């Protein structure tokens, strides 16, 4: 095996790792956003968990971040929560999810 082949394998392994990390982070951040939104909607317990799980499941069906923000902001419109607030909360949830995943590795 040449140095080039080893290097190529290293890049491929890093790409796979990074993609897996982003998938996990996106799923976890969508769940966190779903739990936050459920709280805003006055849901708790199983109802809140179901809402969060549905948001994660929806995101797996090739929904974009914009679709997720639109869905949640639509659900929260009656509560006076603006789309920008939902987008900001999603960013916060993504940072929190990445931190949680990093902590899980340790």
**Residue 1, pLDDT above cutoff 70:** yes
Closest-CA residue to 26 (of 93, 103, 99, 105): 93
18 occurs within a structural domain: no
86 occurs within a structural domain: yes
pLDDT of 2-14, one tens digit each? 887 788 888 888 8
Do 55 and 38 form a contact (C-beta atoms < 8 A)?
no
Q: pTM for this structure?
A: 0.83
Do 40 and 79 form a contact (C-beta atoms < 8 A)?
yes
Structure tokens at 54: 């549905």
d(CA 68, CA 70): 5
64 occurs within a structural domain: yes
Domains contained in the chain, number: 1
65 occurs within a structural domain: yes
For the chain, how many residues are written? 106
For 88, the domain range is 28-105
């Amino acid at each position: 095996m040449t140095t080039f082949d080893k290097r190529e394998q290293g890049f491929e392994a890093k790409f796979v790792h990074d993609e897996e990390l982003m998938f996990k982070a996106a799923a976890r951040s969508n769940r966190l956003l779903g739990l936050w939104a459920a709280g805003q909607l006055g849901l708790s317990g199983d109802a809140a968990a179901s809402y969060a799980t549905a948001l994660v499941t929806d995101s797996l069906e090739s929904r974009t971040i914009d679709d997720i923000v639109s869905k949640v902001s639509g659900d929260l419109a009656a509560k006076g929560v603006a789309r920008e607030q939902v987008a900001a909360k999603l960013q916060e949830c993504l940072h929190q999810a990445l931190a949680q995943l990093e902590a899980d590795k340790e």
